[in-house]
Structure 1
């Protein structure tokens, strides 16, 4: 596969993710989209918290998954799409603060499968980051329909 570095490809990855209702509901925002590398964030709100200011694991997983699989999508040829087929999340600290930042990256890109990962950080009001989770996943790459 060839890495597409065009701004339109990055925009397509952003649009594809933000077209998903759950991404919009979480308030996902892309901070960076580059070949094999994505950074996004979402606000820590009570809507997705099990106690005030502390996100549930589901929202942490979603942020990590979106970052990792979006990073994998940046390496796809135009017209291809991908989807998560497997992922493991390890939570190492509570997700407390004002924002959650997830940095996704590609571990190994193949034609059919891409192994990807993400580190998730809780960000406080002073912009200090604390690692709260790590994800490793596999995305299935799907060619355009004929």
Structure 2
């Protein structure tokens, strides 16, 4: 995708604030390391309660991180007063994720008024570099918030 234009000038502050206020995001404990129009990166530190055998991140955690990263990327392109919600996603796990951090990079593939199609790649990060662990395709439904 070419460089996108964010219709909401406050997107870089709004997206982390809204996403990190969600109980599921707070439970995971990730943080945003990049928020740009149509493109975000989140970093998930290793935590024992997110793992399975021998310290590997559990697959559902990888799927959640991909969903949050893709959805956040899609959210950067929404006008003020709009939010998005996942209506479908497919995750393919390609390698085990183990290390001090997992990084999920979300990007918008096709923005739209009603639906936005996004993708995310999830990497295990350690001293030797990055390993692609999962990739996802995510469909987001864009919803205008009701005036209060």
Output the CA distance in 2 between the equivalents of 1:54 and 1:45: 10
Structure 2's unaligned 5+ residue stretches are none
Output the CA distance in 2 between the equivalents of 1:127 and 1:75: 34
State the shift of 1:144 in Å: 2.4
In the alignment, which residue of structure 1 is the partner of 2:7? Answer: 4
Output the CA distance in 1 between the equivalents of 2:146 and 2:8: 23
Output the CA distance in 1 between the equivalents of 2:111 and 2:33: 22
State the shift of 1:3 in Å: 1.9
Q: Answer yes or no: is the 8 Å Cα contact 2:8–2:78 preserved in 1.
A: no
TM-score (structure 1 length as normaliser): 0.94
Q: Answer yes or no: is the 8 Å Cα contact 1:42–1:100 preserved in 2.
A: yes
What SS does structure 2 have at the residue aligned with 1:3?
Answer: coil
State the shift of 1:11 in Å: 0.8
Q: Answer yes or no: is the 8 Å Cα contact 1:65–1:137 preserved in 2.
A: yes
State the shift of 1:53 in Å: 2.1
What SS does structure 2 have at the residue aligned with 1:97?
Answer: coil
Q: Answer yes or no: is the 8 Å Cα contact 1:5–1:34 preserved in 2.
A: no
Output the CA distance in 2 between the equivalents of 1:127 and 1:77: 40
In the alignment, which residue of structure 2 is the partner of 1:143? Answer: 144
Structure 1's unaligned 5+ residue stretches are none
Would the alpha carbon gap of residues 127 and 139 (structure 1) be closer, same or farther in structure 2, given more than 3 Å must change?
A: farther
In the alignment, which residue of structure 2 is the partner of 1:62? Answer: 64
Q: Answer yes or no: is the 8 Å Cα contact 1:4–1:35 preserved in 2.
A: no
Output the CA distance in 1 between the equivalents of 2:8 and 2:81: 14
In the alignment, which residue of structure 2 is the partner of 1:129? Answer: 130
In the alignment, which residue of structure 2 is the partner of 1:81? Answer: 83
TM-score (structure 2 length as normaliser): 0.92
Output the CA distance in 2 between the equivalents of 1:79 and 1:9: 11
Q: Answer yes or no: is the 8 Å Cα contact 1:73–1:81 preserved in 2.
A: yes
RMSD: 1.5
